[in-house]
Structure 1
Amino acid sequence: MSSHGDPIPMTSSACGPLSGVADVPGDKSISHRSLILGAMCVGETTIAGLLEGQDVLDTGAAMRAFGAEVTDQGGGNWSVRGVGVGGFAEPDQVIDCGNSGTGVRLIMGAMATSPISATFTGDASLNGRPMARVTDPLALFGCQAVGRAGGRLPMTLVGAAEPVPVRYVVPVPSAQVKSAVLLAGLNAPGQTVVIEAEATRDHTERMLAGFGAEISVVETDSGREITLTGQPELRAQHIEVPRDPSSAAFPVCAALIVPGSDVLVPGIGLNPTRAGLFTTLREMGADLTFENERVEGGEPVADLRARYSPDLKGIEVPPDRAASMIDEYPVLSVVAAFADGDTVMRGVKELRVKESDRIEAMASGLRANGVEVEDGPDWWIVTGRGQRGVPGGAVCASHLDHRIAMSFLILGMRSETPVKVDDGGPIATSFPIFEPLMQRLGAKVMRDQV
């Protein structure tokens, strides 16, 4: 089943050139953080361009449950009247975060240093994902967590009545863990310090500074050291959400592999901690250009133009780039299937614990469609078929994972035989306009009759 209803089988078939403008939704990472930080302000934060996918809507509902006023003003415009740092009320009901690992982990951090309790749950996929990576550092503040075996949801958190600041070294690259600790540090006295050996997406640091928190980032021999002074009064803001580079990846990658395509994706956030896919694609020989480069709301933004690229070459993706493109490896593997030679992806064990085991899901589906794939605990290699093309014809399991579903639908746009996914329903969690957007560009993506 999909995360919010019956399965929605979908089929993607080979199509003519894709062309036009792809107006992808707002950035999911920034949308989550806008709602949470807005709820921790005093006053009204206004948000333009919020991603209205189910993941973000679930975060908005959670902020209401903690006492903030979250209002849909229409047209992607929202407002949040916050309760201030440390002002969360104890929710009356279980907090259902649906499919969103980002949502649940950030919300846990935001409430962990308030003297309240909350119980969290999600769909089958989220309830199978590990939460100890967040609850372990939150325990250092004085927060207690009780959940299922293996640190899994449903889980109840009892916030720290007298939180203490912490100094925490993030054991694996994870923006979610880093952000949860920083959000918890907001209501702890003194300075909370987070050290990450490898840089991850830095939206939380940028947005905390924008909301008025005292935060500094310095490079040390141990990595990036982020210091946050607790118990600030955050200032309500107006936030313009840039368009999501992870969503842009799908029309961009489709244009690169479908002959004759020329697609413009405007207003994409190009934060360097998020843009690893586009760097990788250009190294593979992709005809991908950045136009009208600018800065909006403290984030670098540009219009991306992607054209059909018949001479793509397999490369070895640097492992230290993984954090900047961790969500894009599934669709990168689709592009790799149409390149010449091997595309080698290492240092990606985080993919094993995403919404699904994304290495296994993509490897199995690609093999079923005639592509050679090798994989190991933290690596995989796709042997591209180049101009021979991909046979296709398989039914691929989405595993309740929106990015897996969309990646295989992109594969079908260039395969010799249509590619099916067993359930496209999870796509609504992050990219609710995926189908009509791709159809307007010329793709043959449709829901099966059941």
Structure 2
Amino acid sequence: MNPASAATQPLSLSTSGPLAGTVTVPGDKSISHRAIMLGALAVGETRITGLLEGEDVLATAAAMRAMGAEIERRNDGDWRVHGVGVGGLLQPRTALDMGNSGTSTRLLLGLIASHPITATFIGDASLSGRPMGRVITPLSLMGASFTATPGAGGRQTLPLTITGLCPAVALSYTLPVASAQVKSAVLLAGLNTPGDTVVIEPVATRDHSERMLAGFGAKLTVAESPQGRIITLAGEAELRPQDIIVPGDPSSAAFPMVAALIVPGSDILIRNVGINPTRAGLIRVLQAMGGDITLVNERIVGGEPVADLHVRHSALTGIEVPPDGAPSMIDEYPILFIAAACAVGTTVMRGLEELRVKESDRISVMAQGLAACGVACEELPDGLIVHGQGGEPLPGGATVAAQLDHRIAMSFAVLGLNAQARVTVDDARPIATSFPDFVAMMQMLGATAHR
């Protein structure tokens, strides 16, 4: 998506009654990215069902095609990936346009770091302001070289050019901050690196990379230690093609889930949602606030735990959210801020420095939007304190600048369902990066969309 290429698309949601019905949400974005990438490094045909067809994942698919993989969408909605094998990536002929996808960029930098090719990454205005130094540092230690654009605050940003090294240098790296993207980038670089690549994470982050690498046949071990989780990957891997079923994205399910909790009388079922423990933090926090969320039909699909979520309107109570749970729900904090605004009492959320370097500074942007909608909140260096409105409809009546951030846009659209006066998101176009059918799904549940 190029935000400058078309007029903005304002959006507001409202409802005259409870939300009700059964819906599904798009495939998990994290798993979709990794399925495309690892399928492109396997020899043979990988089949993917339920792939998220948002702009971020499509950017990953386009980049892997540019480096030699054959990737096609079948008429039945399934995807087929014919890989080039580990070490077989080709020199792309043009710059790789990542659009708004930080995940695509950071993980692909890892893939390329141990291949003898050079690639230039570009992106939209939002992505071009996001820091890449956190992956450049370990990948440089493995031998890759980088030319990045100097950004605000000394950040290394896009446009960025990487030249990989083959053979790369095996690395033992302790993550300085909890980041699944940095962990994954180093592990992906290790696939084509002789010897063992080791990542030590003091705080556990989402483990989709470890699960999927093992599923594709990589030799990978995970051990607990006083220093944290020690992940060891044997290099020069030979990956086998897989049949992947992508569960629904818990980050996307968060929006209808909170909508049902805050709209009186609502009762909905969200089918086939991934409940990986490293991703299910929001469910645990909302339940601790009094949210009526029941996991139904729990099962394992493609190595990932999955369930249907039965959600009913609830009287929420403010709590202090444990900071150590942030990695398991980092992308869900914007919609949690909305739930906190609709609760009785105060919710304190800390340990969220990562939110300041997402698609936007999500702490600052959410604080400004909440204040504009009549919600009292206090911005902290590492979080937000939200004073709930006691369960009553929020004042609303504002137009909120989403700052090209899909999760900000969806969060304030959901807030509008429980507001006295209409809440308008200034531009809904970024929603397509992760949840193209968001508005249609909310309409299925009973909401009215105003554009």
> TM-score of the superposition, structure 1-length normalised?
0.98
- 1:321 paired residue number: 325
Structure 2: runs of 5+ lacking an equivalent: none
Shift of 1:22: 1.5
Alpha-carbon distance in structure 2 between the residues aligned to 1:37 and 1:445: 38
- 1:306 paired residue number: 311
**What are the Cα deviations for residues 267-320 of structure 1, in whole angstroms up to 9, with x where unaligned?**
1000000000000000000011000011111111100011011x2100011101
Alpha-carbon distance in structure 2 between the residues aligned to 1:84 and 1:267: 31
Shift of 1:3: 7.0
Matches within 5 A, 1:41-80: 41-80=42-81
Matches within 5 A, 1:96-115: 96-115=97-116
- 2:346 paired residue number: 342
Alpha-carbon distance in structure 2 between the residues aligned to 1:236 and 1:141: 27
SS at match of 2:63: helix
**What are the Cα deviations for residues 84-143 of structure 1, in whole angstroms up to 9, with x where unaligned?**
001000000100011011111011111110000000011100000000101111001100
Alpha-carbon distance in structure 1 between the residues aligned to 2:167 and 2:183: 21
- 2:231 paired residue number: 226
Residue type of the alignment partner of 2:40: A
- 1:94 paired residue number: 95
For the pair 1:278 / 2:300, whether they are aligned, the reply is no
Query: Percent identity over the alignment?
Result: 60
SS at match of 1:136: helix
Q: Is the 8 A contact 2:15 2:446 kept in 1?
A: no
Matches within 5 A, 1:187-336: 187-309=192-314, 311-336=315-340
- 1:141 paired residue number: 142
- 2:11 paired residue number: 10
Shift of 1:34: 0.3
Matches within 5 A, 1:288-437: 288-309=293-314, 311-437=315-441
SS at match of 1:16: coil
Q: Is the 8 A contact 1:3 1:99 kept in 2?
A: no
SS at match of 1:355: coil
Alpha-carbon distance in structure 2 between the residues aligned to 1:3 and 1:386: 40
Q: 1:363 to 1:13 in 2, by over 3 A?
A: same
Shift of 1:16: 1.1
Residue type of the alignment partner of 1:234: L
Shift of 1:11: 1.6
**What are the Cα deviations for residues 235-283 of structure 1, in whole angstroms up to 9, with x where unaligned?**
0000000010000000010000001101100110000000000000000
Alpha-carbon distance in structure 2 between the residues aligned to 1:377 and 1:199: 23
Alpha-carbon distance in structure 2 between the residues aligned to 1:227 and 1:248: 32
Q: Is the 8 A contact 1:409 1:445 kept in 2?
A: no
Shift of 1:12: 2.0
Shift of 1:446: 2.8
Q: 1:3 to 1:217 in 2, by over 3 A?
A: farther
How many residues align? The count is 446
Alpha-carbon distance in structure 2 between the residues aligned to 1:320 and 1:6: 41
- 2:188 paired residue number: 183
Q: Is the 8 A contact 2:395 2:420 kept in 1?
A: yes
Residue type of the alignment partner of 1:95: L
Alpha-carbon distance in structure 2 between the residues aligned to 1:376 and 1:50: 37
Q: Is the 8 A contact 2:114 2:168 kept in 1?
A: yes
Q: Is the 8 A contact 1:14 1:417 kept in 2?
A: no
SS at match of 2:24: coil
Q: 1:4 to 1:431 in 2, by over 3 A?
A: farther
Alpha-carbon distance in structure 2 between the residues aligned to 1:90 and 1:217: 33
Q: Is the 8 A contact 1:367 1:373 kept in 2?
A: yes
SS at match of 1:413: helix
Which of 172, 197, 217 is 1:167 aligned to?
172
SS at match of 2:419: coil
Aligned residues: CA RMSD: 1.0
Alpha-carbon distance in structure 2 between the residues aligned to 1:90 and 1:403: 34
Q: Is the 8 A contact 1:15 1:258 kept in 2?
A: no
Shift of 1:23: 1.1
Residue type of the alignment partner of 2:139: L
Q: Is the 8 A contact 2:375 2:394 kept in 1?
A: yes
Q: Is the 8 A contact 2:166 2:193 kept in 1?
A: no
Shift of 1:147: 1.1
Q: Is the 8 A contact 1:51 1:76 kept in 2?
A: no
Q: Is the 8 A contact 1:2 1:424 kept in 2?
A: no
Structure 1: runs of 5+ lacking an equivalent: none
Alpha-carbon distance in structure 2 between the residues aligned to 1:396 and 1:272: 33
SS at match of 1:176: helix
**What are the Cα deviations for residues 175-220 of structure 1, in whole angstroms up to 9, with x where unaligned?**
0000000000000000000000000000000000000000000000
Shift of 1:439: 0.5
> TM-score of the superposition, structure 2-length normalised?
0.98
SS at match of 1:404: helix
Residue type of the alignment partner of 1:118: A
